[in-house]
Amino acid sequence: MLTNKVFIRKNKRGNVLKIIREHYLRTDLWCGSCCCIICPHEKHDLILAENPPSKSSIFKEPHYLMVDTNVILDQIDVFEEDVISNVIIVQTVIDEVKHRSSAIYKRLRDILTNPARKFYTFVNEHHRDTYIEREQKESSNDRNDRAIRKAALWYQNHLNKSTKESKKPKITIILLTDDAENRRKAQEEDKLVSCSVQTYVRSLSEHPYLQDKLCIKEYASESDKHPVYPPHLTVVQMHEGIKSGKLYQGSFVASRENFLEGSVNVECFEKFILVQGREALNRAIDGDTVCVELLPENEWTCPSEIVLEDNENDPIVETIEEDENEKILKESASKKQEKQPTGKIVGIIKRKWRQYCGILKPNEIKGTSRHIFIPAERKIPRVRIETRQAEKLYSKRIIVAIDQWPRHSRYPQGHFVRALGPLGDKETENEVLLIEHDVPHSKFSQEVLNCLPSLPWIISEQDYKERVDLRKIAICSVDPPGCTDIDDALHSRLLPNGNIEVGVHIADVSHFIRPGTAIDKEAASRATTVYLVDKRIDMVPELLSSNLCSLRGNVERFAFSCIWELDKNANIIATKFHKSVIKSKAALTYEEAQLIIDDKNKNDDIAKSLRRLNELAKILKRRRTENGALVLASPEIRFHIDSETNDPIEVAVKQLRETNSMVEEFMLLANVSVAEKIEKEFPEHAMLRRHPIPPQTNFEPLIKAVRHQGFDIDTSSGKHLAISLDNIVKDDNPYFNTMLRILATRCMLQAVYFISGTLTRSEFFHYGLAAPIYTHFTSPIRRYADIIVHRLLAACIGADSTYADLLDKTKNSLLCNNLNYRNRMAQYAGRASVALNTHLFFRNRSEEVEGYVLFVRKNALQILVPKYGLEGTIYLSGKNINAKFIYNEENQSQQCENIVFHSFDPVIVRLSLDSTNVQHEKLVFELVKPFIEGFSIQSNDNVMEIDETPQSPTMKRKPMEEAVAVGSGKKAGNKKKKK
Amino acid sequence: MANIKINLLMNKAKYTSDLGENNCRIYTTGEVITEQKDFMRGHGTYVEDGLIKSSVVGVVRQINKLISVVPLKSKYVGEIGDVVIGRVTEIQKKRWKIDTNSRLDSVLLISSINLPGGELRRRNAEDEQSMRKLLQEEDLLSAEVQNVYVDGSLSLHTRSLKYGKLSQGILISVSPSLIKRRKNHFHNLPCGVSVIIGNNGYIWISPIVNVEIEGQGGFAQSLDAISKSDREAIVRIKNCVQALASCYVMIYDTSITFAYEESLKYEAKELLNHDTMYEIGFNTKLKLMQQE
Amino acid sequence: MAQELLSLQGLRIDGRRQNELRQIQCRLGVLERCDGSAYMLHGNTKVIASISGPKHPTKNSANKNRGGDEFIFNVRVKFATFSKNGERQKVVKNSKKLGEIEINLKNIFKSVILVEKYEKSQLDLNIEILQTDGSEICTVVNAATLALIDAGICMKEYICACTASLTNDGVALLDVSHLEEICGGPTLTIAALPRTGDHEQSVAYVELSQKFYLKDLNKIFDCALMGCEKIRGILDEAIRSNAFELVNSELTNN
């Protein structure tokens, strides 16, 4: 059964090595075809159909397809379609795909593992008859091509023999390859049937839409067209350049505001390397790993501070002359004070292309198949695609993949992947949102659902024995209204010695989600529950999240309890952890809880308990703030959704009560206590959460902005920052302080999960909370990190067994990376959802509201509208603007005649939705007050908001001195430390 | 030009394969020989859980109730009366230590030798001091096993004129199991070569010397020049013995004579060629079989 | 690089299945000038073992032994300069690693050699590793077993050694190659006395390259033991065919 072949490989790792590895060739690898009578197949090996129906107009006879590596790499979208089946993928191809692109490999693997698709893997590299050795002077690509042909030939002969003996219809092997030379060799030397993918897909006459998915790569020379971009360096040149220090490698980040600007994050530079202009950007797309060359210092510039959008209407005819935008960019950037290292991109090391959501731009030329695709993500350039179903797609959100970006093409070229749904449709838009933020949102697979406990779920005697019985204690939960996934509950009671026992009870999700099961893997991959305005994408199936794990009132539930003994001053005397059975006495909302606390007449257990907790929480909060915990702000709003249409009908800023803070404090306390415990028990393997101290450079915009207002801010430490923020108050502008906090929030870094063994103790610090150690323990229903922490804690107290991966540092670090990524994406998705609903809200209305100038840009003002938590831009120059603004760089202001705009100045703007372009609705900000001739618009008298601002008339002249009374925005804890 | 020959195992197989099957049971290490309790365990066996098991790889010899396993290859295990060839390794008080290819060095007591001149008397201190005059370190000698000690080491004697120091000749070492026990281990072959086949696997090949004339009690060393024809004959015999050993043919006077006759069609140096060796070994084997 | 140790089709990197050994070839009596020798090829791991003795103790080792009557067993292991995948490396003499291997081997074999038969004598085991490709210790142990048998040393049993590893999905892999050692999880090396018949196997030596979970132990252990048994079969066959040749010639003459 074994044949031994030793082959020799040369490996470059500093020096040339001769590597000898064994390579066993087998005779027990079968062909996987149902029509085969030669191979002794097992049932589950039979994948390829006995008589595959032909859908092709060229190849009428039954056939199997075989493909080469490039076909899979380029056309994976086509192969993901169910139409294509009965395909043989040889090991050579799989290995190469794996080597070249792990993303495509994963997709290919999904296809291969789905038996319904009838894709068979043939391990040709280990088959005695199909293994070939690389010949002298043969490149490895040629060798692989030959290996594929050899396998195809083997199959053809094998099947011929089989079908002849069994008198079944003959089956042809069709080798699909886009390499003409390979095709020629297959046809001439091996007498195989071979054609290009295009030819084959076009011949599938019943499935014309497949053609749109074809990735068309031009292998032909590009010389006949005028190149728009300079050529990229070869890999070797880049390597040498980087080695010699002339070139730098880094990841490219496109600017969100200016499509002709981007930056490259290079490790050896403290600052980003700025890249400006189309030629300098040289076809880099956000996320790519690129190779940059630094310009000489006299050509260095600084970020242009202007907002540019690609609005060209000319998709087909390319303008070769330097366009208007670029001129503006050059001018604006040329004379700046602080120059930044500037460079140009000379090559792409690794593309990070994915599939993009967006819309098709209507084409003025009817009937053409060439179109421009506008991605939803503004960082991504437009993509040129070919489709025959444009008419149908105009009104839809579609997904497109980029194939290549040749030098002569202004835009990258791509192909249509699929349509999501009609434009403006809520479902479609949500889908876009989820896809763009890479949120896994498919339904839970049957495998996952099989892991759920069967209903009715009964607590057994054994469970009672293993857990502490807390059913008699007055435990209650406090949550936002409408919350169904209740993962925490609280209690407190007086102890005989005068101390207070406080308990935090967290849903025992790890009881239901056992390590290594399908449900565990799924939850680990989802990492978090994602909250959209009108939708919740659960991390675990609903049965758990809203029922079995949710600590609902008056039902017995499993909990993981953290019990403290606190003295009157909220000092911890003792801490213990155990698993328990609880029966929550009431599931309250923040409002209800507040009412109970405030109602002096209520004196039952729960009321007493809540009051005690509230008192302690105040002490805890004060102590925390004294230690330097930051109170930050971000504008947060709530939509009231029409229950029938699901459209937002009202917007309100989220209300905050004492009880919010009360719950938060105890959750923080629990998290810290648990973090200490697991870190002590597993110093190398605890999953913790840290919030890195932001570098001082991050605070620069904040310091700058504050200085113009005549204040100084100390950002040297968290504590100083907190004190400074408390002190900088403008009596005439109460929202000023909130805006500062909003700005301060933007200076922060993201808090991240990590494994304790990977960092030093001093790096554990949580900056926002001023806690030396922190973790997430309190929301296992909606966060996977908490599940891991639960398991660790359970292992600490001996309540549960450990398992291999729990203490695997590398695996858990990878898990952390995923959790961090998903969390960030979930946060973005949530915000995008709010933005989406704001759009919907303004669909048929316009409103005049107070706003504040957040930043003054060279050609625009950025406005924050606290009422809607919205941020928008008012352009100060352009075609239809007559007013002349003078930009003062010194104190960051814009002046038009006698009206001056500074940061933090209050304004009144009108918000409306520009629906002229059905595909691309935009929220438009227009200045109402102060009134500038030829720029501002007339106020509508019938809009209420103006009347609510009593001082508004005086604002026209001296906006600086005027104050506007505005309700304060949310002053909640920083987003990251949401309980 | 270098004459390189590569020898493949296959060539050897050619000569061994057609020698007919011999279904002799081979016991390997750890294999149970018998489950019956009433046997005695001998050499090459051990008892575990009441079973007699083999501790070496070899064939079982049963003598009445005594079961032993004879290993195919092992160090020499001496028996009284064996003729051995040995090399002096050390001189101690009243004794020589002799390497005889056995597990432990053998001893040759000064009282177990014939004194030069054939004197018969008690050994005195003077004799002890002049031991080195008789046998030095690295000297070769032939002797007979006089006694076997409890620990397995041998005591030798040279109380016969045929034993004694060896002077000019070639020593080859083969596995002791290849030596056939015979009445006589000293042979003067017709080709003018004397061979002493030690039971311990050491074989001494030398020109024929007349023991009677020497009369020195076997401790004289003759360093006379030896004629070329004698040297050639010695070398040929040596090569023949090696050929026999490499083909696992039992070594005794007949087999050596046959091999010698067989080798005459080749030059002496050609006998070093593995193919020729196998051929000679094989043909000798055939001849021996025919003789039986 | 996280390479998959076991592909979807159930093949390992070199094309073996999960419970297959690499190709093993061995020969006894390869060296003429010593009392017993063996050459062992285990995949690309190549080892020569030779035995000298039992013999009268040399003065040197007798001194070390302080004149006792015990059996002296010396083991020397050497990696050839070219042994590591064709790359010429400096050979470290008396390194800690080698010393450890030597002591381990000594203990392994002392447990099977019928020591009482070799009182007062000395046995030298010399091992030269010519090429390495994973599972070196096993190959060394197996080669040494053959050499000892070739030398006709009395032993209770063969000692066979084998390795096993574990994929990320918890599948036990038999006989770990160098590549799998690098990419993979824990490697378990065991040397066992795989007795035939209804006797339980006894284990002379176990070594683990990293920690892993107790629940996997049985799986990986059984896998390695199964390997030992397979190797025993291979060794037995080699010994028998070698013995057959010898016995044949002897008997035709006696």
pLDDT band at A920 (very low <50, low <70, confident <90, very high): low
3-state secondary structure of C100: helix
pLDDT band at A322 (very low <50, low <70, confident <90, very high): very low
Q: What is the mean pLDDT of residues A168-186?
A: 86
Q: Which residues of C touch B51 (CB under 8 A)?
A: none
Q: Is the pLDDT of residue B23 over 60?
A: no
What does the pLDDT read at residue A313? Answer: 47
**Token pair listed for B203:** 């074989």
Residue A198 located in a structural domain: yes
Q: What is the pLDDT of residues A527-554, one digit of tens each?
A: 898 888 878 888 888 888 888 888 888 8
CA distance, residue C13 to nearest chain A CA (Å): 8
Among chain B residues, CA nearest to C30: B9
> Does one domain contain both A412 and A513?
no
CA distance, residue C21 to nearest chain A CA (Å): 10
Chains with ≥3 CB–CB distances under 8 Å to A: C
Pairing of strands A273-276, A289-294: unpaired
Mean pLDDT is highest, among A240-244, A881-885, B84-88, B219-223, for B84-88
Q: Which residues of A touch C8 (CB under 8 A)?
A: 109, 112-113, 121
Q: What is the mean pLDDT of residues A824-851?
A: 81
Rounded distance between C-alpha atoms, residue A203 and residue A224, angstroms? 30
Residue A264: give its domain's CATH number. 2.40.50.690
B78 vs C: CB within 8 A: no
> Does one domain contain both A474 and A619?
yes
Closest by Cα among A178, A206, A208, A167 to A69 = A178
> Is chain A touching chain B, with at least 3 CB–CB pairs below 8 Å?
no
B56 and C247 within 8 Å at the Cβ level: the answer is no
Nearest CB partner across the interface for C152, out of B22, B31, B71:
B71
Q: What is the pLDDT of residues C133-165, one digit of tens each?
A: 888 899 999 999 999 998 888 888 889 999 998
3-state secondary structure of A276: strand
Q: Which residues of C touch A112 (CB under 8 A)?
A: 8
> Does one domain contain both A607 and A491?
yes
Percent pLDDT > 90 in chain B is 4
> Does one domain contain both A632 and A776?
yes
Cα torsion A549, A551, A554, A558: sign: positive
Q: How many CB pairs under 8 A join B and C?
A: 118
Residue A343 located in a structural domain: yes
Distance from chain centroid for Cα B199:
4
Q: Is the pLDDT of residue A334 over 80?
A: no
C87 and A25 within 8 Å at the Cβ level: the answer is no
Rounded distance between C-alpha atoms, residue A151 and residue A141, angstroms? 15
Q: Is the pLDDT of residue A820 over 50?
A: yes
C23 and A21 within 8 Å at the Cβ level: the answer is no
Contacts for B100 with CB less than 8 Å, ≥ 6 apart: B76, B78, B84, B85, B86, B106, B154, B156, B198, B200, B202
Widest CA span in chain C: 63
Contacts for A249 with CB less than 8 Å, ≥ 6 apart: A238, A242, A266, A289, A290, A291, A292, A349
**Helix (H) or strand (E) run with residue A527 in it:** none
Count of C-beta atoms within a 10 Å radius of residue A719: 16
Tell me which of C21, C42, C85, C219 to substitute to probe the interface with A (most A C-beta atoms closer than 10 Å): C85
> Is chain A touching chain C, with at least 3 CB–CB pairs below 8 Å?
yes
Greater confidence, A942 or A946? A942
Tell me which of A3, A16, A22 to substitute to probe the interface with C (most C C-beta atoms closer than 10 Å): A22
Q: Which residues of A touch C179 (CB under 8 A)?
A: 21
> Does one domain contain both A781 and A633?
yes
Rounded distance between C-alpha atoms, residue A937 and residue A928, angstroms? 5
What does the pLDDT read at residue C144? Answer: 93
**Token pair listed for A775:** 């973790």
Average pLDDT of the residues of chain B: 81
Residue A937 burial by CB count (10 A; 0-12/13-18/19+): exposed, middle or buried? Answer: middle
Closest by Cα among C142, C117, C100 to C227 = C142
Q: Which residues of C touch A22 (CB under 8 A)?
A: 14, 22-23, 43-44, 133, 177
**Token pair listed for A977:** 């430390």
Closest by Cα among C115, C108, C103, C135 to C204 = C108
Residue A718 located in a structural domain: no
Closest by Cα among A486, A482, A473, A557 to A778 = A486
What does the pLDDT read at residue C49? Answer: 94
B105 vs C: CB within 8 A: yes
Chains with ≥3 CB–CB distances under 8 Å to C: A, B
Residue A411: give its domain's CATH number. 2.40.50.700
CA distance, residue C17 to nearest chain B CA (Å): 31
> Does one domain contain both A193 and A164?
yes
User: In terms of residue numbers, what domain contains B52?
Assistant: 25-71
Nearest CB partner across the interface for A24, out of C7, C14, C212:
C14
> Does one domain contain both A146 and A60?
yes
Mean pLDDT is highest, among A488-497, A596-605, A861-870, for A488-497
**Token pair listed for B116:** 């030069």
Q: Which residues of A touch C20 (CB under 8 A)?
A: 2
Alpha helices in A805-931 (DSSP H): 809-841
CA distance, residue B138 to nearest chain C CA (Å): 15
Rounded distance between C-alpha atoms, residue A20 and residue C83, angstroms? 12
Q: Is the pLDDT of residue C90 over 60?
A: yes
A19 and C16 within 8 Å at the Cβ level: the answer is no
Residue B61 located in a structural domain: yes
Residue A374 phi/psi, 5-degree rounding, is -110, 115
What does the pLDDT read at residue A948? Answer: 37
Residue B33 located in a structural domain: yes
A120-124, A301-305, B31-35: least confident range: A301-305
Look at residues A826, A850, A865 and tell me which one is the last residue of a structural domain: A826
Q: Identify residue A883 by its one-letter amino acid code.
A: A
Rounded distance between C-alpha atoms, residue B59 and residue B161, angstroms? 37
3-state secondary structure of A927: strand
- Structural domain total, chain B: 1
What does the pLDDT read at residue A949? Answer: 35
What does the pLDDT read at residue A951? Answer: 36
B285 vs C: CB within 8 A: yes
What does the pLDDT read at residue A775? Answer: 92
Greater confidence, A825 or A649? A825
Residue A551 burial by CB count (10 A; 0-12/13-18/19+): exposed, middle or buried? Answer: buried
> Could you give all domains of chain C from N- to C-terminal order, each with its CATH number?
24-253 (3.30.230.70)
Residues A84 and A78 sit within 8 Å (Cβ to Cβ): yes
Closest by Cα among A592, A604, A585 to A474 = A585
Average pLDDT of the residues of chain A: 79
Cα-based distances in Å from C185 to A915, A953, B99? 59, 75, 52
What does the pLDDT read at residue A354? Answer: 80
C158 and B29 within 8 Å at the Cβ level: the answer is yes
pLDDT band at A326 (very low <50, low <70, confident <90, very high): low
Residues B134 and B113 sit within 8 Å (Cβ to Cβ): yes
What does the pLDDT read at residue B283? Answer: 85
Q: What is the pLDDT of residues A394-425, one digit of tens each?
A: 888 888 888 888 887 888 888 888 888 887 77
Residues forming beta bridges with residue C100, ordered by sequence position: none
What does the pLDDT read at residue A561? Answer: 92
Q: Which long-range contacts (CB under 8 A, 24 or more apart) does A928-932 make?
A: A928/A848, A929/A955, A929/A956, A930/A899, A930/A955, A930/A956, A930/A957, A930/A959, A931/A956, A932/A883, A932/A896, A932/A897, A932/A899
Q: Which of residues 812-871 of A touch C (CB under 8 A)?
A: none
**Token pair listed for A896:** 């038009």
Q: What is the mean pLDDT of residues C3-19?
A: 82
Rounded distance between C-alpha atoms, residue A37 and residue A50, angstroms? 11
> Does one domain contain both A82 and A203?
yes
**Helix (H) or strand (E) run with residue A588 in it:** strand A586-589
Residue B38: give its domain's CATH number. 2.40.50.100
Pairing of strands B95-99, B106-109: antiparallel
Nearest CB partner across the interface for C213, out of A20, A22, A803:
A803
Q: Which residues of C touch B151 (CB under 8 A)?
A: 119-120
Q: Is the pLDDT of residue A891 over 80?
A: no
Q: Which residues of C touch A45 (CB under 8 A)?
A: none
Nearest CB partner across the interface for A121, out of C8, C14, C23:
C8
Nearest CB partner across the interface for C252, out of B46, B74, B285:
B285
Percent pLDDT > 70 in chain A is 84
Nearest CB partner across the interface for B250, out of C54, C118, C253:
C253
Cα torsion B283, B284, B286, B290: sign: positive
pLDDT band at A953 (very low <50, low <70, confident <90, very high): very low
For chain C, list residues whose CB is within 8 angstroms of any CB belonging to chain A: 7-9, 11, 14-16, 20, 22-23, 43-44, 85-87, 133, 177, 179, 212-213, 215-216
Cα-based distances in Å from A306 to A328, A648, A698, A876, C206? 9, 33, 20, 10, 70
A101-105, A669-673, A749-753, B196-200: least confident range: A101-105
A300-304, A772-776, B255-259: least confident range: A300-304
What does the pLDDT read at residue C142? Answer: 93
Distance from chain centroid for Cα A231:
32
C245 vs B: CB within 8 A: yes
Angle (CA) A523-A525-A531 rounded to 5° is 70
Rounded distance between C-alpha atoms, residue A413 and residue A732, angstroms? 55
What does the pLDDT read at residue A938? Answer: 67
Q: What is the mean pLDDT of residues A857-883?
A: 75
Euclidean distance between the first and the last CA atom of chain B, given in angstroms as a whole number: 46
Q: Is the pLDDT of residue B216 over 80?
A: no
> Does one domain contain both A522 and A664?
yes
Phi-psi region of A841 (alpha: psi -120 to 50; beta: other; left: phi over 0): alpha
Rounded distance between C-alpha atoms, residue A533 and residue A829, angstroms? 10
What does the pLDDT read at residue A804? Answer: 73
- Strand ranges (DSSP E) for A76-197? 87-90, 119-122, 172-176, 193-195
Q: What is the pLDDT of residues A9-43, one digit of tens each?
A: 655 556 666 777 788 888 888 888 888 888 887 77
Q: Which residues of C touch A20 (CB under 8 A)?
A: 44, 85-86, 133
Q: What is the pLDDT of residues A868-879, one digit of tens each?
A: 777 777 877 766
> Does one domain contain both A89 and A181?
yes
Q: What is the pLDDT of residues A63-93, one digit of tens each?
A: 888 888 888 888 888 888 888 888 889 988 9
Nearest CB partner across the interface for A23, out of C8, C9, C15:
C15
Taking the CA atoms of chain C, what radius of gyration do you get in angstroms? Answer: 19
Greater confidence, A183 or A846? A183
Residue A81 located in a structural domain: yes
**Helix (H) or strand (E) run with residue A668 in it:** helix A658-681
A109 and C85 within 8 Å at the Cβ level: the answer is no
Q: Strands of A119-122's sheet, edge to edge?
A: A119-122, A87-90, A63-67, A172-176, A193-195
User: In terms of residue numbers, what domain contains A524?
Assistant: 447-685+772-826
CA distance, residue A5 to nearest chain C CA (Å): 10
**Helix (H) or strand (E) run with residue A54 in it:** none
Q: How many CB pairs under 8 A join A and C?
A: 54
Residue A322 located in a structural domain: no
What is the DSSP code (8-state) at residue A849? E
Rounded distance between C-alpha atoms, residue A753 and residue A755, angstroms? 7
Q: What is the mean pLDDT of residues A606-617?
A: 89
3-state secondary structure of A825: helix
Q: What is the pLDDT of residues A472-512, one digit of tens each?
A: 888 999 888 878 888 889 999 888 888 899 999 999 988 88
Q: Is the pLDDT of residue B5 over 70?
A: no
What does the pLDDT read at residue A947? Answer: 37
Pairing of strands C202-208, C187-193: antiparallel
Count of C-beta atoms within a 10 Å radius of residue C74: 18
pLDDT band at A3 (very low <50, low <70, confident <90, very high): low
Rounded distance between C-alpha atoms, residue A563 and residue A577, angstroms? 6
- Structural domain total, chain A: 5
Residue B34 located in a structural domain: yes
Residue A951: give its domain's CATH number. 2.40.50.140
Q: Which residues of B touch C55 (CB under 8 A)?
A: 75, 103-104
What does the pLDDT read at residue C62? Answer: 67
> Does one domain contain both A250 and A286?
yes
Residue B183 located in a structural domain: no
Cα-based distances in Å from A14 to A19, A246, B116, C89? 14, 21, 74, 15
Closest by Cα among C156, C123, C6 to C54 = C123
Query: Could you give the ipTM of this predicted complex?
Result: 0.86
Tell me which of A3, A15, A24, A98 to substitute to probe the interface with C (most C C-beta atoms closer than 10 Å): A24
Nearest CB partner across the interface for C243, out of B26, B255, B285:
B26
Q: What is the mean pLDDT of residues B212-240?
A: 74
Percent pLDDT > 70 in chain C is 85
Residue A453 located in a structural domain: yes
Residue A915 burial by CB count (10 A; 0-12/13-18/19+): exposed, middle or buried? Answer: middle
pLDDT band at A632 (very low <50, low <70, confident <90, very high): low
Residue B77 located in a structural domain: no
Rounded distance between C-alpha atoms, residue A592 and residue A482, angstroms? 13
Rounded distance between C-alpha atoms, residue C19 and residue C170, angstroms? 14
> Does one domain contain both A886 and A810?
no
